[in-house]
A and B are shown apart, each in its own frame.
Chain A
């Protein structure tokens, strides 16, 4: 398996960045898999009626996509022992073939006790941050 070394985990180390596209079909699939069938994630009429710009992605879906940057880097996803985010801005997903693109970067922000490091993620869409205080703790 992939092993992280001390050099890999020095404070300031950038994790490989990733970009994810989100289309309407992805939201339908995530709704089914997660059990979150809130209509604002699939019904434009209802989403706009409650003041949203349109159908928006599940915050938990964006959170799951962002985790990929950490789990892929960690090698074993089980090393991600803590993970938290604030949902600061909705991700509108247009009804087209392109959808929305979410860009995720990560950096080792702190070395913690017990062979753990904290990774801070920056998650943005169209240049604006969509998650706040997105942090993961990785067990080395």
Chain B
């Protein structure tokens, strides 16, 4: 079922702020097997000029994946999640995510297009602090496989 193009631009505002814990960053760094001390020790992060431990560049997926469920589960989009494949992912950072950040995620349906019987939809997740400082924007392109 094709996604209604008139829904492009629909925005899903943030619910509660995501509070970034240092242990969550350490857990994520462990999970990707990266021993870099800048993801673990405040002293190492400060030596590079950061106010606190920083998160790896793809860490924002933790909160944008969660936030994008509001779009994926929007009944008006009618997405069958069992047919969804992750097609593309991109991040553009104003600064790294820091331990102690309280972040909001606003999700927007940026585009939909049909390619070879599949729907491709791109969502944009704007991640900012609760005081409005932009941190990172993530774009996810999901491919909803057609009945094929």
Contacts and interface: CB of A to CB of B under 8 A. Distances in A.
Contacts of B92: 81-82
B115 interface: no
Contacts of A80: 57, 93
A77 B47 CA distance: 13
Given A77-B56, A78-B54, A84 B62 contact: no
Contacts of A78: 48, 50, 54, 93, 95-96
A55 to B, nearest CB: 15
A34 B36 contact: no
Chain B, interface size: which category?
A: 35 or more
Classify chain A's interface size: 20 to 34
A61 B32 contact: yes
A73 B50 CA distance: 18
B6 interface: no
B31 A87 contact: no
A61 B31 CA distance: 9
A71 B56 contact: yes
Nearest to A27: B31
Given A32-B31, A67-B56, A83 B91 contact: yes
Nearest to B94: A81
Contacts of B30: 29, 33
21 contacts: A30-B32, A32-B27, A33-B28, A63-B58, A64-B58, A71-B56, A77-B38, A78-B48, A78-B54, A78-B96, A80-B93, A81-B93, A82-B90, A82-B93, A83-B57, A83-B91, A84-B88, A84-B90, A85-B90, A87-B87, A87-B88
Interface of A: 1, 20, 26, 29-30, 32-36, 50, 59-61, 63-65, 67-68, 71-72, 75-78, 80-87, 136
Interface of B: 24, 27-28, 30-34, 36, 38-39, 47-48, 50, 54, 56-58, 61-62, 65-66, 82, 85-93, 95-96, 139
